[in-house]
Amino acid sequence: MPAPTESAESAESAAATSQQLAAFGRQHIAKGIGRLSEEVLASGQGSYVNTVSGRRLLDFTTGIGVVNLGHCHPKVTAAAQQQVATLVHGQVNIAYHEKYIELVQQLLPIMPHPSLDTFFFWNSGSEAVEAAVKLARHATKKQNIIVMQGSYHGRTFATMAMTRSKTIYGQNYGPLMPGVFEVDFPYCAQCPIAERCDGKYGVENCCFDPVDKLELLLKRSTAGDDTAAIFIEPVLGEGGYVPMPPGYVQKVREICDREGILLVLDEVQSGFGRTGRMFATEHFGVRPDILIMAKGIANGFPLSAIASRKELMDLQKPGSMGGTYGGNAVACAAAVAVAKAFKEEKVLDNVVARGQEMKAVLDGLKTGHKTRKIVKDVRGLGLMLALQFVPGGSYGSKVQAKCLEKDLLVLTTSIYDTLRFIPPLNITKADLEKGCQIIKEASVFDDAVNATQPRYTWTREEITEIHQRPLMELAYAASTVHRRFHKPGAVQLCTLMNIKTGGCTEDCSYCAQSSRYKTGLEATKLSAVDSVLEAARIAKANGSNRFCMGAAWRDMRGRKRGLKNIVQMIKGVRALGMEACVTLGMLDKEQARELKEAGLTAYNHNLDTSREHYPKIISTRSYDERLQTIQNVREAGIHVCSGGILGLGETPATDHVGLIHTLASMPSHPESFPVNKLVPIKGTPMFGEEPVKLEDLVRCVATARLVMPATIIRLAAGRVTMPESEQMLCFMAGANAIFTGEKMLTTDCNGWGEDKSMFERWGLVPMQTEASKVYAEPQFESRSFTEIKHEATAAAAAVA
């Protein structure tokens, strides 16, 4: 075995180090911290983070909305580095420090209302919320607080009582802070009134309901005289990224003014440009009494703030507010740089443009032919966007996991099945498109991989997305689905006999049996029934449980005698306990009915290729005529066997997809899908054609397995040209049937003995199918062909 390369050794070492660090973390870091992945982050730059294991991840989480300007923004980094060398800690209860004052100067002009002119800085969002509670209670001399259902305000003792997005944040930590009441937030996607309004909702016909409930709360549970403040997130954060509908907060403002209640807007997550305005409040035109800020304010440095009007702030006595690290000098210096960067780099313009682009992608998932069935709602402002799925499928976590596999970080949120997207506000168009493409692929691919029953509504675009996946990932996914729908390692053995050779009037450019080409093949009449049944007995004795019979005819018109004989062949094959399949060209409904009455298991009628490529290889029979025969067969209650030939000069990325799409979008999938590898025959127009590449063959098999999970995929003509290793790749990608025996129609076939040896080497077993379940499991025979033929002849004589 060759020695690993230096790069391989380095990658292995990095992966081992990452695993060791993660293991240490699991042992010594509090279990109460949940996390998206077990990766260990090493560095970050712009929209990407790098891991110790060597991965480069596109970050659509920004540390849960913290590094709004991307990781290690150069201006922010430089400001922090300079401040570290100047003054690290200027404790605010001891003296002013320069950066604290400079930050206030930067914030004043960007406040959503000029009344917000006085500030207090702390470290985290939760601490800022608690500061707002203290201010509200002290200023109003009232205790009670009203919060919104679905809100998130933190995990400290007081904020746990105010958080209503998930029970886990306060579960088993009671008794929590008293005096907290909740009221419904206008969450339109979950609102029964909105559903009755058929999607046409607004403050005039819907959002009066949450307003009315607030009025009732003030009458029933906490009077205005007892209520200090109402806390609202303009865009519900942890609760699902739900913006307030227009008009709602204006009504709340009127109630607050009437009752002497302070309106507190928590913009910890929605502030500092996240929604396309510096503060989400600006979208709604409402004046808050207290504004809460954190997260993006310092682009990763621990800093939070509240802003209010001076007369409220000045009611608090000196010393009643403060904290050891509140308003840290380095964090304030970083925040000053953030404020300047917003102006200098036109960040808000980028948020609006990129937000519109991403919203369009998510809207496309909601209206897409496949995804519309699983997407319940798309919502958000700017680059604070959410995709909510229908309940019951855990789609959010599945797509999240698939995105992580593709090096994209996204987060779930809410008790409802929701993904949230919070990429850097200065993300480039190219990086946004890259992330959106991963999200789209994850949605489609995940649906195929996790299928528990066949789906018949595939679009060509969806199949293209699946077909274009990296081959190793595609094959692995196909193998996973295969094991869900089929017995692993079980391969059906089929034998094909040409019961009428040559003389066909069609011009199929690949076929030696066409009378139009000089291939040296002599036309023959229909074989005798006895000789066909003798061949079937030999096939059964060798382990085959499907016997297929092919006649080189364009159609069955005027062939009543031939049809009568074929009916006898079918009955005889079925009497042997084998499945019977025929391919006779085009059929009408009456002919299909006769074959069904004879006991026919399946009818083979290949589409050969995509509709677009088809005219380049055949002109004497249309694609729609082929489809009509398939419809006649299906309506007669016969299984459809239909596939294609690869290597006809087609373009795999479009024509293989087109073939699969035609079959996968039928009312029911074909019972079997033969995959033929063209064997170019001298004298046909296709002679000399380049053979299909192994990659394209395996990709076709794997894609068919994913979109037609219950279908049997049969390696047919051309298998004799494939080494065992190539055949095994096809089996691993989802193929589970072969033709075996003496010959195909006009080309060579792998023999029974050869396939027996292959099965033994690779641990494959003959598949027991529906028609053979009442009989013993087929087994390979080690006897010679002469012995088997002799026994078959004797058996035929005994029956006669």
**Annotation says 641 is catalytic:** yes
DSSP code of residue 357: H
CA torsion through residues 46, 49, 55, 59, sign = negative
Cα–Cα distances (Å) from 87 to 72, 79, 100, in that order, read 20, 12, 12
**Annotation says 508 is catalytic:** yes
Q: Which of 191, 206, 641, 749 is catalytic?
A: 641
Q: Which of 494, 548, 700, 730 is catalytic?
A: 548
**Annotation says 511 is catalytic:** yes
The contacts of residue 157 (CB under 8 Å, 6+ apart) are: 173, 176, 177
CA distance 8 to 14: 10
CA distance 131 to 138: 11
DSSP code of residue 373: G
At 580, is the secondary structure helix, strand, or coil?
strand
- DSSP-assigned letters across all residues of 601-635: -EEE---BS-TTTGGGT-SSS-HHHHHHHHHHHHH
Q: Which of 256, 508, 730, 749 is catalytic?
A: 508
Q: Which of 714, 719, 730, 749 is catalytic?
A: 714
Cβ atoms of 230 and 263 within 8 Å: the answer is: yes
DSSP code of residue 586: B
Q: Which of 511, 700, 730, 749 is catalytic?
A: 511
User: What tokens were used for 414?
Assistant: 């809410």
CA distance 136 to 30: 34
Strands (E) in 455-565, as ranges, are 490-500, 546-551
Q: Which residues pair with 420 in a beta bridge?
A: 386, 411
- DSSP-assigned letters across all residues of 193-237: HHHHTTT---TTTTTHHHHHHHHHHHHHT--GGGEEEEEE-SEET
Cβ atoms of 588 and 625 within 8 Å: the answer is: no
CA distance 191 to 233: 18
CA distance 385 to 246: 17
Q: Which residues are the active-site residues?
A: 504, 508, 511, 548, 581, 641, 714
